[in-house]
Structure 1
Amino acid sequence: MNASTSLGSAHSTTTTAPRTRRIVDAPTRVFHWLFALSFLGAYLTADGERFRLLHVTLGYTLAGLLTFRVLYGIWGPPQARLSLMLRKLAAGPRWLKSLATTASDGSLAGINWRQGQNLLMALAVVALLVLVLPLTLSGYATFNEWGDFLGGDWVEELHEAVGEAFLAVVLAHLALIAGLSILRRKNLAQPMLSGRTEGPGPDLARNNHLLLASLVLVAVLAYWAWEWQQSPNGLISAGAWSSATSDRHHDDDD
């Protein structure tokens, strides 16, 4: 009996899930994925007139999500504050100086790579948030044809240039996460899915704020539904679908 009990205890110990702690709350995760989905959809529907209303709706969604993130970054919990990212960026020059000093000595062992990772991640996030403002403003101006009054097509060209810059930052952000995940042998994207990461210590995000996250999701879905109802033929008209389908069949035949 004692032997079987010991074996059972050993088995339960070896199968116990590793300890985790919550570092990203639900509103931040919902914002992240809605933000990524909206940009991806807007980028894919940028060319032509067939999906123009959908493109504009997703652009407005980006602007609304940016507003939420700024407000949440000002009055939200400590781990979601924008001031935290700004402090990481402010420490950048000091880290770069230490990097240059350590590298000149011929040894990389003393470099604080975790601080460098935090610096690069914060830089990518801040760049994306900053680019949303000129992206959406130039998109609004293009949609309302302000270029006719301002002279030339520079407004539309500005919108396209900012969109490409935004895409470049997104790709760099993804490459950074993938590269660091490989180097550290740890899935750094996992916290944006579950909110948790392996390791001891207290939860950085003490409250998950699930209700607020649900409200953000419902607000975005309600806005999409409202825009669909306001559009005469919906955000994606039957003509757009049939045209896209015929183009795909044409490409297959070629």
Structure 2
Amino acid sequence: MQPTTTTPTAALAPGRATPARPPQARRRVVDAPTRMFHWLFALSFLGAYLTAEGERWRALHVTLGYTLAGLLVFRVLYGLLGPRHARLGPLLRKLAGAAAWLRSAAGAFRGGTVQGVPWRQGQNLLMATAVVVLLLLAVPLVISGYGTYNDWGDASGGVLGGDWLEELHEFVANAMLAAVLLHVGLIAALSVLRRKNQALPMLTGHVDGAGPDLVQRNHAWLAALLLLAVVAFFAWSWQASPRGLVPATGWAQSAPDGRHDGDDDD
């Protein structure tokens, strides 16, 4: 009597359980603090931009501005003292390779083909450029905002006179908004061309595919501390503001100086 053997066909016969598929391989490419900074920074800038007009939102606008400044300090320190994958040095080295990439792309186009263009390197170069530009623009943005809030450029003095600092603040804010829109547009275009969501790694920290993790440690505790610090600062600012950070409905009542709370300063 011969032993019974199980064939692949029998294993997959009707009524039999099919073997479970192995989980799809993923690699970690972005750590938690970097992702937390990215979204807090984006939300702070968007909120500050939307609340820039009018006195009713002034407290919230200033709080978001201070938050943006604190996040900028965190990113610089993390880029100097943090793990290698989060360092600012690699970003600068990518920018240093821009000239070589342009020469390579120009040579490929002159040859009548786009196959030789290093598109992935170009994508990394554009992403690095966007990050550096946004960080650099944030510096004059927060400085001019702080100066405007503390009347550094009032009309009563200064060689430049007038509201030059406020105009500078508005100009830098618009330039930063343009950089953000270009950054988002680039990600959307790459997502369509590659048929893959290019923003997903900044949400999950992972990309699909086999291979070693580019980021060995997630440092989730540091991301949690960063979020906690921002929430605590907002809570403190809310308590310190006489009317809170969000104006209540019906604040069109006259202030003690005869103005309306919603009126802009002239």
TM-score (norm 2): 0.86
2:101 pairs with 1:95: yes
| Other-structure match for 2:89 | 83
Describe the superposition over 1:36-78 as per-residue Cα deviations: whole angstroms up to 9, x where unpaired: 1101100110011110010011011111001000110111111
Q: Which amino acid aligns with 2:196?
A: K
Q: Which amino acid aligns with 1:22?
A: R
SS in 2 for 1:147: coil
1:200 deviates by 1.2
2:26 pairs with 1:20: yes
* Greater than 2 Å deviation, 4+ residue runs: 1-11, 241-244
Describe the superposition over 1:134-177 as per-residue Cα deviations: whole angstroms up to 9, x where unpaired: 00000011111111133211100000000000000000000000
1:81 deviates by 0.8
Q: Which amino acid aligns with 1:48?
A: G
2:56 pairs with 1:46: no
1:17 deviates by 3.4
How many residue pairs match? The answer is: 240
1:242 deviates by 2.9
Describe the superposition over 1:69-119 as per-residue Cα deviations: whole angstroms up to 9, x where unpaired: 011011111111111111110100100011111111111111100000000
Query: Could you tell me which of 130, 133, 142 is aligned with 2:139?
Result: 133
SS in 1 for 2:196: coil
Query: Could you tell me which of 231, 236, 243 is aligned with 1:221?
Result: 231
SS in 2 for 1:21: strand
Matches within 5 A, 1:154-193: 154-193=164-203
1:235 deviates by 1.3
Q: Which amino acid aligns with 2:81?
A: W
Whole-angstrom CA distance in 1 between matches of 2:235 and 2:173: 25
Query: Could you tell me which of 133, 140, 147 is aligned with 2:153?
Result: 147
2:114 pairs with 1:104: no
Q: Name structure 2 gaps, 5 residues minimum.
A: 253-266
Query: Could you tell me which of 179, 196, 204 is aligned with 2:206?
Result: 196
Query: Could you tell me which of 62, 68, 71 is aligned with 1:62?
Result: 68
Distance 1:68 1:237, change over 3 A: same
Q: Which amino acid aligns with 1:165?
A: A
Distance 1:18 1:139, change over 3 A: same
SS in 1 for 2:106: helix
1:24 deviates by 0.4
Q: Name structure 1 gaps, 5 residues minimum.
A: 245-254
| Other-structure match for 1:118 | 124
Q: Which amino acid aligns with 1:223?
A: F
Query: Could you tell me which of 206, 228, 242 is aligned with 2:250?
Result: 242
Whole-angstrom CA distance in 2 between matches of 1:24 and 1:162: 29
1:11 deviates by 4.4
| Other-structure match for 2:257 | none
1:18 deviates by 1.8
Q: Which amino acid aligns with 1:218?
A: L
Q: Which has the higher helix share?
A: 1
2:209 pairs with 1:209: no
Whole-angstrom CA distance in 2 between matches of 1:243 and 1:9: 66
Larger radius of gyration: 2
